[in-house]
Amino acid sequence: MGRNLTRKLIDSHLVAGKPVAGEEIGLAIDQILLTDTNGNMSLLQFEAMGLPRIVPRRAVAYIDHNVYQFDSRNTDDHRYMQTAARRYGAVFSKPGNGICHQVHMETFSVPGQTLLGSDSHTPLCGAAGMLAIGAGSLDVAVAMGGGPYFTTMPSIVRIWLTGALQPWVTAKDVILELLRRLTVRGGTGKIFEYAGPGLASLLAAQRMTIANMGAELGLTTSVFPSDDVTRSFLTRLGREQDWQPASPDDDATYDDQIELDLSALTPLIALPGSPDRVVPVEEVAGTPIEQVMVGSCTNGSWHDMASVTEILRGRRIHPSISFVLFPGSHRILETMSSEGLLTDLLRAGATVSEPTCGSCAGIGHVPAAGTKSLRAFNRNFPGRSGVKGDEVYLCSSTVAAASALTGVITDPRTLGGAPSGVTLPLRFADSAVGFVEPDGLGEVVRGPNIKAVPIGEPVAETLEAPVVIKLGDKVSTDDISPAGAAVLMFRSNMPAISEFTFKYVDPEFVARARAAGRGIIVGGELYGQGSSREVAAIAPMYLGVRAVIAKSFARIHRANLINWGVVPLVLDDAAAHDGIERDDRLRLEDLRASLAGDGRVTILNTRTGALFRASCVVTPREREILIAGGLLALTRERQA
Ligand code: MIC
Ligand code: SF4
For residue 471, the CA-to-ligand 1 centroid distance in Å is 21
Per-residue pLDDT reduced to its tens digit, 241-259? 999 999 999 999 999 999 9
Residue whose CA is closest, atom 12 of ligand 1? 531
Alpha-helical (H) ranges within 389-508 are 397-406, 477-480, 485-488, 494-497
- For ligand 1, residues with CB inside 6 Å are 37-38, 65, 119-121, 361, 379, 483, 530-533
Q: Is 121 in the pocket of ligand 2 (CB under 6 A)?
A: yes
The pLDDT score that the predictor gives to residue 529 is 97
Cα 351–chain centre separation = 26
pLDDT value at residue 638: 87
Query: What pLDDT score does 633 carry?
Result: 93
The Cα–Cα gap between 125 and 128 comes to 6
Which structural domains are found in the chain, ordered by start? 5-264 (3.30.499.10), 268-412 (3.30.499.10), 463-639 (3.20.19.10)
For ligand 2, whether the C-beta of 107 sits within 6 Å is no
Distance from the alpha carbon of residue 461 to the mean position of ligand 1, in angstroms: 35
Q: What is the 3-state secondary structure (H, E, C) of 380-403?
A: CCCCCCCCCCCEEEECCHHHHHHH
- pLDDT 10s digits, 620-633: 999 999 999 999 99
Whether ligand 2 lies within 6 angstroms of the CB of 36 is answered as no
Picking from 476, 492, 422, 574, the residue whose alpha carbon sits closest to that of residue 185 is 476
Residue nearest to atom 3 of ligand 2 (CA): 297
Ligand 1 center to residue 305 CA distance, Å?
A: 22
What are the beta bridge partners of residue 586? 465, 605
Collect the ranges in the chain with pLDDT lower than 70.
Answer: none
Ligand 2 centre distance from Cα of residue 567 (Å):
28
- Alpha-carbon torsion 65, 70, 72, 75, what sign? positive
**Side chain identity at 603, as an amino acid letter?**
I
Nearest ligand for residue 557 CA: 1
Atom of ligand 2 nearest to the CA of 300: 8
Q: In terms of C-beta density within 10 A (0-12 exposed, 13-18 middle, 19 or more buried), how is residue 306 classed?
A: buried
Please report the pLDDT score of residue 243 as a whole number.
Answer: 98
Mean pLDDT of the chain: 96
Cα 377 to averaged position of ligand 1 atoms, centre (Å)? 13
Q: State the Cα–Cα distance between residues 325 and 303, nearest whole angstrom.
A: 13
The pTM for the full model equals: 0.96
**Spacing, Cα 463 to ligand 2 middle (Å):** 37
pLDDT at residue 431 in the model:
83
269 lines ligand 2 (CB under 6 A): no
- Sheet of 131-134, strand order: 131-134, 114-117, 31-34, 58-62, 91-93, 435-436
